[in-house]
Protein backbone atom coordinates (compact mmCIF):
# COMPACT_ATOMS: atom_id res chain seq x y z
CA UNK A 1 0.00 0.00 0.00
CA UNK A 2 2.84 2.34 0.82
CA UNK A 3 4.44 1.81 -2.55
CA UNK A 4 1.13 2.52 -4.35
CA UNK A 5 0.63 5.73 -2.37
CA UNK A 6 4.18 6.88 -3.21
CA UNK A 7 3.64 6.17 -6.91
CA UNK A 8 0.34 8.06 -6.96
CA UNK A 9 1.96 11.06 -5.24
CA UNK A 10 4.80 11.02 -7.79
CA UNK A 11 2.35 10.90 -10.69
CA UNK A 12 0.37 13.79 -9.19
CA UNK A 13 3.55 15.86 -8.83
CA UNK A 14 4.55 15.04 -12.41
CA UNK A 15 1.10 16.03 -13.64
CA UNK A 16 1.28 19.29 -11.74
CA UNK A 17 4.73 20.06 -13.20
CA UNK A 18 3.45 19.39 -16.71
CA UNK A 19 0.49 21.70 -16.13
CA UNK A 20 2.82 24.45 -14.91
CA UNK A 21 5.07 23.93 -17.90
CA UNK A 22 2.13 24.12 -20.30
CA UNK A 23 0.94 27.35 -18.67
CA UNK A 24 4.44 28.85 -19.01
CA UNK A 25 4.55 27.79 -22.66
CA UNK A 26 1.17 29.42 -23.31
CA UNK A 27 2.36 32.65 -21.64
CA UNK A 28 5.54 32.67 -23.73
CA UNK A 29 3.44 32.12 -26.87
CA UNK A 30 1.18 35.04 -25.92
CA UNK A 31 4.21 37.24 -25.26
CA UNK A 32 5.74 36.19 -28.56
CA UNK A 33 2.46 37.02 -30.31
CA UNK A 34 2.19 40.45 -28.60
CA UNK A 35 5.81 41.60 -29.01
CA UNK A 36 5.77 42.10 -32.84
CA UNK A 37 2.73 44.41 -32.63
CA UNK A 38 4.31 46.37 -29.82
CA UNK A 39 7.57 46.60 -31.78
CA UNK A 40 5.66 47.94 -34.80
CA UNK A 41 3.85 50.47 -32.63
CA UNK A 42 7.12 51.67 -31.10
CA UNK A 43 8.65 51.98 -34.58
CA UNK A 44 5.70 54.01 -35.81
CA UNK A 45 5.89 56.28 -32.77
CA UNK A 46 9.63 56.80 -33.32
CA UNK A 47 9.04 57.64 -37.01
CA UNK A 48 6.30 60.11 -36.08
CA UNK A 49 8.63 61.82 -33.61
CA UNK A 50 11.41 61.97 -36.21
CA UNK A 51 9.07 63.55 -38.78
CA UNK A 52 7.71 66.06 -36.28
CA UNK A 53 11.17 67.15 -35.15
CA UNK A 54 12.36 68.48 -38.58
CA UNK A 55 8.99 70.18 -39.09
CA UNK A 56 9.48 72.02 -35.81
CA UNK A 57 13.04 72.90 -36.83
CA UNK A 58 11.82 74.19 -40.19
CA UNK A 59 9.14 76.25 -38.50
CA UNK A 60 11.73 77.66 -36.14
CA UNK A 61 14.09 78.47 -39.02
CA UNK A 62 11.24 80.11 -40.98
CA UNK A 63 10.35 82.22 -37.97
CA UNK A 64 13.99 83.26 -37.56
CA UNK A 65 14.22 84.06 -41.29
CA UNK A 66 11.05 86.16 -41.11
CA UNK A 67 12.43 88.00 -38.08
CA UNK A 68 15.66 88.66 -39.94
CA UNK A 69 13.75 89.94 -42.98
CA UNK A 70 11.73 92.25 -40.76
CA UNK A 71 14.91 93.57 -39.19
CA UNK A 72 16.47 94.12 -42.63
CA UNK A 73 13.35 95.92 -43.85
CA UNK A 74 13.34 98.22 -40.85
CA UNK A 75 17.06 99.00 -41.22
CA UNK A 76 16.84 100.03 -44.89
CA UNK A 77 18.56 103.41 -45.33
CA UNK A 78 16.58 106.35 -46.71
CA UNK A 79 17.91 107.54 -50.06
CA UNK A 80 19.07 111.14 -50.06
CA UNK A 81 17.88 113.55 -52.74
CA UNK A 82 21.43 114.89 -53.09
CA UNK A 83 23.61 113.27 -55.71
CA UNK A 84 27.35 113.58 -56.19
CA UNK A 85 29.49 113.14 -59.29
CA UNK A 86 33.28 113.08 -59.29
CA UNK A 87 34.66 115.21 -62.12
CA UNK A 88 38.40 114.79 -61.63
CA UNK A 89 40.93 113.18 -59.27
CA UNK A 90 44.48 114.42 -59.80
CA UNK A 91 47.74 113.73 -57.98
CA UNK A 92 49.51 116.84 -56.75
CA UNK A 93 52.81 117.37 -54.98
CA UNK A 94 53.97 120.07 -52.62
CA UNK A 95 57.63 120.85 -52.07
CA UNK A 96 58.39 120.93 -48.36
CA UNK A 97 61.52 120.91 -46.29
CA UNK A 98 63.17 117.55 -46.82
CA UNK A 99 61.38 116.52 -50.04
CA UNK A 100 57.95 116.46 -51.67
CA UNK A 101 54.56 115.82 -50.10
CA UNK A 102 52.22 113.74 -52.25
CA UNK A 103 48.44 114.28 -52.06
CA UNK A 104 45.27 113.90 -54.16
CA UNK A 105 42.88 116.62 -55.29
CA UNK A 106 39.21 115.79 -55.94
CA UNK A 107 36.65 117.90 -57.81
CA UNK A 108 33.04 116.88 -57.06
CA UNK A 109 29.73 118.32 -58.26
CA UNK A 110 26.79 118.11 -55.81
CA UNK A 111 23.15 118.71 -56.75
CA UNK A 112 19.55 117.63 -56.20
CA UNK A 113 18.26 118.05 -59.81
CA UNK A 114 15.71 120.56 -58.48
CA UNK A 115 17.56 123.85 -59.02
CA UNK A 116 20.37 123.55 -56.47
CA UNK A 117 23.96 122.72 -57.43
CA UNK A 118 27.46 123.32 -56.10
CA UNK A 119 31.12 122.41 -56.65
CA UNK A 120 33.59 121.20 -54.06
CA UNK A 121 37.39 120.97 -54.25
CA UNK A 122 39.52 119.29 -51.57
CA UNK A 123 42.94 117.70 -51.07
CA UNK A 124 43.96 114.77 -48.90
CA UNK A 125 46.58 112.05 -48.61
CA UNK A 126 44.02 109.41 -49.65
CA UNK A 127 41.54 109.47 -52.53
CA UNK A 128 38.47 108.49 -50.46
CA UNK A 129 39.17 111.18 -47.86
CA UNK A 130 39.64 113.77 -50.62
CA UNK A 131 36.26 112.86 -52.18
CA UNK A 132 34.49 113.04 -48.82
CA UNK A 133 35.97 116.44 -48.09
CA UNK A 134 35.05 117.68 -51.58
CA UNK A 135 31.43 116.55 -51.11
CA UNK A 136 31.23 118.44 -47.82
CA UNK A 137 32.75 121.53 -49.49
CA UNK A 138 30.26 121.29 -52.37
CA UNK A 139 27.27 121.23 -50.01
CA UNK A 140 28.58 124.39 -48.36
CA UNK A 141 28.80 126.22 -51.72
CA UNK A 142 25.34 125.48 -53.14
CA UNK A 143 23.59 127.99 -55.41
CA UNK A 144 19.96 128.14 -56.54
CA UNK A 145 19.39 128.42 -60.30
CA UNK A 146 16.19 129.26 -62.21
CA UNK A 147 14.61 126.53 -64.38
CA UNK A 148 12.11 127.58 -67.08
CA UNK A 149 10.39 124.63 -68.79
CA UNK A 150 13.40 122.27 -68.32
CA UNK A 151 15.83 124.86 -69.74
CA UNK A 152 17.38 128.25 -68.91
CA UNK A 153 15.44 131.52 -69.32
CA UNK A 154 17.97 133.24 -71.62
CA UNK A 155 21.42 132.97 -73.20
CA UNK A 156 24.40 133.74 -70.98
CA UNK A 157 28.19 133.45 -70.87
CA UNK A 158 30.20 132.56 -67.76
CA UNK A 159 33.93 132.82 -67.08
CA UNK A 160 36.34 131.32 -64.60
CA UNK A 161 40.08 131.83 -64.95
CA UNK A 162 41.07 131.25 -68.57
CA UNK A 163 37.90 129.31 -69.38
CA UNK A 164 34.50 130.49 -70.54
CA UNK A 165 31.23 128.69 -71.26
CA UNK A 166 28.27 129.82 -73.40
CA UNK A 167 24.81 128.51 -72.46
CA UNK A 168 21.72 128.76 -74.69
CA UNK A 169 18.10 127.68 -74.06
CA UNK A 170 16.80 124.75 -76.10
CA UNK A 171 13.38 123.36 -77.08
CA UNK A 172 11.77 120.18 -75.75
CA UNK A 173 13.52 116.99 -76.88
CA UNK A 174 16.94 118.56 -77.47
CA UNK A 175 18.61 117.06 -74.42
CA UNK A 176 21.75 118.24 -72.67
CA UNK A 177 24.26 119.18 -75.35
CA UNK A 178 27.42 119.38 -73.25
CA UNK A 179 30.38 117.31 -72.20
CA UNK A 180 32.75 116.78 -69.30
CA UNK A 181 32.39 118.97 -66.25
CA UNK A 182 29.82 121.24 -67.95
CA UNK A 183 27.45 118.30 -68.46
CA UNK A 184 27.81 117.17 -64.85
CA UNK A 185 26.90 120.63 -63.54
CA UNK A 186 23.88 121.04 -65.86
CA UNK A 187 22.46 117.56 -65.18
CA UNK A 188 22.76 117.82 -61.40
CA UNK A 189 21.21 121.30 -61.54
CA UNK A 190 18.08 119.79 -63.12
CA UNK A 191 18.23 120.97 -66.75
CA UNK A 192 16.96 118.55 -69.40
CA UNK A 193 17.20 120.64 -72.58
CA UNK A 194 20.12 123.07 -73.05
CA UNK A 195 22.90 123.98 -75.50
CA UNK A 196 26.45 124.77 -74.39
CA UNK A 197 29.86 125.54 -75.79
CA UNK A 198 33.11 125.58 -73.82
CA UNK A 199 35.63 128.22 -74.91
CA UNK A 200 39.19 128.91 -73.79
CA UNK A 201 40.72 126.60 -71.17
CA UNK A 202 39.70 122.92 -71.19
CA UNK A 203 40.51 122.37 -67.53
CA UNK A 204 37.62 120.64 -65.71
CA UNK A 205 37.98 123.05 -62.79
CA UNK A 206 37.74 126.12 -65.03
CA UNK A 207 34.89 124.63 -67.10
CA UNK A 208 32.81 123.76 -64.03
CA UNK A 209 33.56 127.16 -62.45
CA UNK A 210 32.53 129.00 -65.64
CA UNK A 211 29.28 127.01 -65.85
CA UNK A 212 28.42 127.81 -62.24
CA UNK A 213 29.25 131.47 -62.86
CA UNK A 214 26.85 131.55 -65.81
CA UNK A 215 24.05 129.83 -63.87
CA UNK A 216 24.58 132.17 -60.92
CA UNK A 217 24.03 135.24 -63.12
CA UNK A 218 20.80 133.95 -64.69
CA UNK A 219 17.66 136.05 -64.08
CA UNK A 220 14.14 134.68 -63.97
CA UNK A 221 11.24 136.28 -65.86
CA UNK A 222 9.46 137.16 -62.65
CA UNK A 223 12.45 139.13 -61.32
CA UNK A 224 12.80 141.09 -64.58
CA UNK A 225 9.05 141.83 -64.64
CA UNK A 226 9.22 143.21 -61.07
CA UNK A 227 12.16 145.48 -62.02
CA UNK A 228 10.29 146.78 -65.08
CA UNK A 229 7.10 147.25 -63.11
CA UNK A 230 4.94 145.12 -65.39
CA UNK A 231 3.18 141.76 -65.02
CA UNK A 232 4.66 138.48 -66.16
CA UNK A 233 1.96 138.04 -68.83
CA UNK A 234 2.72 141.47 -70.34
CA UNK A 235 6.42 140.71 -70.54
CA UNK A 236 5.95 137.30 -72.15
CA UNK A 237 3.30 138.48 -74.61
How would residue 1 be classed by pLDDT, with cut points 50, 70 and 90?
very low
CA R_g for the chain: 47
pTM above 0.85, yes or no: no
3-state SS, residue 201 = coil
Q: What is Dmax (Cα atoms) for the chain?
A: 161
Q: What are phi and psi of 196, to 5 degrees?
A: -145, 155
Count of other CB atoms within 10 angstroms of residue 224: 14
Torsion of CA 140, 146, 151, 157, to 10 degrees: -80
Which run of H or of E encompasses 185? helix 180-189
What is the model's pLDDT at position 5? 47
What is the model's pLDDT at position 151? 92
Q: State mean pLDDT over 93-106.
A: 93
Amino acid sequence: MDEKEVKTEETVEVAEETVVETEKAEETVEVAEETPAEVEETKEEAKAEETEAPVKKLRGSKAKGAARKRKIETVEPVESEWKEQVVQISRVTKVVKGGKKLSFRAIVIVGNKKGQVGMGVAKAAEVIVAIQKAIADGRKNLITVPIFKTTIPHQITGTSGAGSVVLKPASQGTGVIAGGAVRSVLELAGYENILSKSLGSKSPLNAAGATLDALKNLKSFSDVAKKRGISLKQMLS
